[in-house]
């Protein structure tokens, strides 16, 4: 039972769910063509005001919103899982090079192997994400002091910079890859149809199930490897399941909306603050679901703002998320450095 009793956690879940539902309605309603909320609700229940409104809602806005929900939840879960597995508050698929690895593998598959379908290059995204995460983990452990949060973050930044440069170089030399890469790289929910959601959804569901089922083991791991092992946790299996979940969640999300960074960094910290206020504490059985709800709130809010500020044009959601996440990341790094002095 949470320390604060059962009411506050339930109230927190209700409030966050209501916020997510509101953002979904706003995502469907707002854009170059603004639709009143009451018309959105009528259209959702099969009573649209016009054929045009029905087409906009069902062909454009709902797939876009569904993609924001799915990819946002995936990135939030992946970030919370990475921070728990590495016991590193700076861990995030974007910061530690996982997203960049997936993006590089996708561009290589398009440019040199002629892969043209989403289902074709999603496997390259998984491979790239896995290789990049392993490389960062090994680089972060070099040196006499072993692996520290800041060293792991710096290794991630270095690998991300290298892979981003290589991705840009490949895209510039291959016109077909460049045309697909330019818009996708910014991280956007625009111009995606329902087929994209349906193709990545099975991978996201499997990744989410692996992540959520790891919650009890993550609670044990938070006390250290020795304590977790003494409690009967098979550490190799726990980490293998975690890596598989991060690979599936991040690879599928990158394929769907591009390499959006900082979602998995910011959201788990906000989830911990809210959990603390609700009397839940650092229980991953709550933190993982909270991250899965908060992350799509962030992605959808950024997407909505991006549609409105330069209407009828758009600012990609990934750019706005970076404006929020970059200062947050700098503040965390400064705090960790001060703590280690």
Backbone angles phi, psi at 278, to 5 degrees: -85, 0
Could you tell me if residue 2 is inside a domain?
no
Q: Which of 328, 334, 326, 304 is nearest to 316 (CA)?
A: 304
State the Rg of the chain over Cα: 20
Q: What pLDDT was estimated at residue 169?
A: 87
Q: What pLDDT was estimated at residue 64?
A: 94
Question: Contact 300/65 with Cβ under 8 angstroms?
Answer: yes
Could you tell me if residue 306 is inside a domain?
yes
Q: What pLDDT was estimated at residue 4?
A: 46
Q: What pLDDT was estimated at residue 211?
A: 95
pTM confidence score: 0.87
What's the average pLDDT block by block, 10 residues per block, for the chain (341 residues)? 60 92 95 89 83 88 94 95 86 84 88 80 89 85 68 84 89 73 74 84 95 93 83 84 91 88 90 89 91 95 91 86 81 59 39
Query: H/E element holding 179?
Result: helix 175-185
Of the CA atoms within 13 Å of residue 212, those in its CB half-sphere come to: 14
Q: Which of 34, 44, 171, 186 is nearest to 106 (CA)?
A: 171
Beta carbons within 8 Å of 108's beta carbon, 6+ residues apart = 124, 170
> How many domains does the chain fold into?
1
Could you tell me if residue 95 is inside a domain?
yes
Q: What pLDDT was estimated at residue 191?
A: 77
Q: Which of 340, 336, 269, 276 is nearest to 12 (CA)?
A: 276
Question: Contact 192/67 with Cβ under 8 angstroms?
Answer: yes
Q: What pLDDT was estimated at residue 294?
A: 95
Q: What is the distance between the alpha carbons of residues 148 and 153, in angstroms, rounded to a whole number?
A: 9
Could you tell me if residue 1 is inside a domain?
no
Quote the domain boundaries for residue 199. 7-340
The CATH number of the domain where 290 resides is what? 1.10.3470.10
Q: At what angle do helices 317-340 and 149-173 cross, to 10 degrees?
A: 150
Q: What is the distance between the alpha carbons of residues 216 and 214, in angstroms, rounded to a whole number?
A: 6
Q: What pLDDT was estimated at residue 335?
A: 67
Q: Which of 302, 299, 280, 300 is nearest to 290 (CA)?
A: 280
Print the SS3 string covering 2-16: CCCCCHHHHHHHHHH
Could you tell me if residue 72 is inside a domain?
yes
Q: What pLDDT was estimated at residue 16?
A: 94
Q: What pLDDT was estimated at residue 176?
A: 67
Q: What pLDDT was estimated at residue 229?
A: 84
Q: What is the distance between the alpha carbons of residues 165 and 278, in angstroms, rounded to a whole number?
A: 43
Q: Which of 302, 259, 274, 337 is nearest to 80 (CA)?
A: 274
Structure tokens that stand for 81 in this block: 């899982």
């Amino acid at each position: 039972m949470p320390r604060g009793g059962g009411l506050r956690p339930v109230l927190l879940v209700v409030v966050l769910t209501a916020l997510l539902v509101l953002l979904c309605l706003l995502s469907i309603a707002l854009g170059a063509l603004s639709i009143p909320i009451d018309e959105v609700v009528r259209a959702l229940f099969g009573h649209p005001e016009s054929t045009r409104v029905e087409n906009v809602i069902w062909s454009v806005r709902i797939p876009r919103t569904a993609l924001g929900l799915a990819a946002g939840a995936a990135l939030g879960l992946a970030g919370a899982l990475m921070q728990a597995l590495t016991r590193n508050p700076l861990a995030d698929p974007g910061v530690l090079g996982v997203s960049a690895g997936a993006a590089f593998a996708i561009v290589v598959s398009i440019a040199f192997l002629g892969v043209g379908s989403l289902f074709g290059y999603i496997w390259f995204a998984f491979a790239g994400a896995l290789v990049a995460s392993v490389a960062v983990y090994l680089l972060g452990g070099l040196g006499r002091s072993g692996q520290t949060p800041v060293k792991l973050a710096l290794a991630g930044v270095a690998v991300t910079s290298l892979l981003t440069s290589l991705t840009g170089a490949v895209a510039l030399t291959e016109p077909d890859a460049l045309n697909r890469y330019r818009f996708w790289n910014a991280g956007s929910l625009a111009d995606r149809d329902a087929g994209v959601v349906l193709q990545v959804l099975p991978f996201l569901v499997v990744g989410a199930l692996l992540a959520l089922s790891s919650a009890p083991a993550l609670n044990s791991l938070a006390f250290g490897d020795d304590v977790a092992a003494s409690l009967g946790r098979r550490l190799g299996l726990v980490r293998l399941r975690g890596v598989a979940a991060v690979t599936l969640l991040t690879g599928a999300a990158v394929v769907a909306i591009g390499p959006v960074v900082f979602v998995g960094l910011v959201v788990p910290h906000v989830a911990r603050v809210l959990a603390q206020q609700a009397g839940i504490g650092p229980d991953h059985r709550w933190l993982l679901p909270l991250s899965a709800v908060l992350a799509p709130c962030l992605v959808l809010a950024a997407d909505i703002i991006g549609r409105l500020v330069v209407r009828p044009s758009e600012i990609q959601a990934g750019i706005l998320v970076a404006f929020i996440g970059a200062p947050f990341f700098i503040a965390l790094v400064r705090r960790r450095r001060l703590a280690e002095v």
